[in-house]
Amino acid sequence: MAKSILIYENGDADKMQIHDVEVGEPGPGQVRIKQTAIGLNFIDVYTRGGLYPTPLPNAVGREAAGVITAVGKRVRGFKKGDRVAYCGVLGAYCEERVMGIEQLVPIPKGVSDEQAAAIMLKGMTVEYLIDQCAKPWLKKGDIILFHAAAGGVGLLFGQWAQARGYKVIGTTSSPEKAALAKKNGYKWVIDYTKENIVERVKEITKGKGVPVVFDGVGKDTWMASLDSLQPRGLMASFGNASGPVEPVAIGILNTKGSLFLTRPSLGGYAATRKDLEASAKSLFGMVKSGKVKVAIDQKYPLAEAAQAHRDLESRKTTGQTILVP
Ligand SMILES: NC(=O)c1ccc[n+]([C@@H]2O[C@H](COP(=O)([O-])OP(=O)(O)OC[C@H]3O[C@@H](n4cnc5c(N)ncnc54)[C@H](OP(=O)(O)O)[C@@H]3O)[C@@H](O)[C@H]2O)c1
């Protein structure tokens, strides 16, 4: 038996309850993993609450690291004792699990379990956003805009973008978060609870606007993001921390300057095993080279997952957060 956080109906953080579950033996193509660290992501809040519908009761958590403790038949490339990490497989809030190897990657030397669990999902998101999705819009020295700069994706994004030669404007909600963002690659930080985003962006870019906005905040920043763009700029709307963007009449992309709009997801960019491996390799390479540093700002025991969700939703966390089984 192992502890697992399950939810039997969507709702607030209290719907997450810890249970003892039978783990069992791995079948063909599967391994059993004893988890050492679990990543907390804002998407866990969406699946818990029902914004992103998922099957119950294994509906929360999709990222973790651990050690393989048993291997089923027809498994190639992984053996007992290997340190591994994954993202994109629901039901990650548990001590131990049996799962297929499709989403598993080995954790390289020089990267800790805690770091791997914290950054697989967020770091591969940063990889595809900067190096794939927005790449055709960007050249070295460009000024770009990223919302929620002191968050989990945000701190990785600032460092990665800086390493690629872009200058980043970040937005945050407090002076403490602004200071943290500045230590993680952001050249300018706007307090979007007090300052006007569009005016500040225009001031920094000398009236030009930015070629790309990366917007994981959603509803509250949608219009300011469009108004911060240069003509023919790209709006990469990749999340909904403040709530989903309302339905849009596409004519707005014309009137705001022949803009491009994308609503990308990691699932779409790491859709094949080849893409997943390439993205993970790039991410771990950035960490091992020291270009992207990974600090764990919050750790909660697995049993306190509900508190971790409350803190994430009320903007109390910064950077990376893990649950410890
Ligand atoms: N599409 C994809 O492939 C993909 C993959 C990973 C993550 N994401 C998205 O990326 C975003 C960041 O994810 P994360 O896990 O790293 O979370 P996070 O940034 O650590 O936390 C969310 C942050 O959003 C900001 N925020 C603004 N308005 C908010 C509100 N009304 N309620 C709560 N927070 C608010 C807060 O920062 P301030 O206090 O500074 O405002 C908060 O800290 C999320 O939208 C997530 O869904 C998308």
Q: Please identify, by atom number, the ligand 1 atom nearest to the C-alpha of residue 218.
A: 45
Query: Which of 129, 134, 117, 131 has the alpha carbon at shortest distance from 154?
Result: 129
Q: Do the Cβ atoms of 118 and 294 come closer than 8 Å? A: yes
Q: Do the Cβ atoms of 266 and 121 come closer than 8 Å? A: yes
What average pLDDT does the segment 150-168 reach? 98
Pocket of ligand 1 (CB under 6 A): 41-43, 121-122, 125, 148, 150-154, 172-173, 177, 216-217, 220, 238-242, 264-266, 312-313, 315, 317
Q: How do residues 231-273 score in pLDDT, each as one tens digit?
A: 999 999 999 999 999 999 999 999 999 999 999 999 999 999 9
What was the pLDDT predicted at 207? 98
Write the DSSP symbol of residue 181.
H
Q: Please identify, by atom number, the ligand 1 atom nearest to the C-alpha of residue 171.
A: 40
In whole angstroms, give the CA distance from residue 136 to residue 148: 23
Pocket test for ligand 1, best of 238, 266, 275, 276 (most atoms within 8 A of CB): 238
Its pTM stands at 0.98
Compute φ and ψ for 120, nearest 5 degrees. Answer: -50, -55
Task: Give residue 240 CA to ligand 1 midpoint distance, Å.
Answer: 7
Residues in the chain: 325
Write the DSSP symbol of residue 135.
G
Count CB atoms within 10 A of the CB of residue 149: 30
Q: How do residues 298-320 score in pLDDT, each as one tens digit?
A: 999 999 999 999 999 999 999 99
In whole angstroms, give the CA distance from residue 97 to residue 91: 9
What stretch of H or E contains 105? strand 104-106
pLDDT reading at 44 higher than 90 = yes
Pocket test for ligand 1, best of 51, 153, 279, 322 (most atoms within 8 A of CB): 153
Q: Please identify, by atom number, the ligand 1 atom nearest to the C-alpha of residue 243.
A: 31
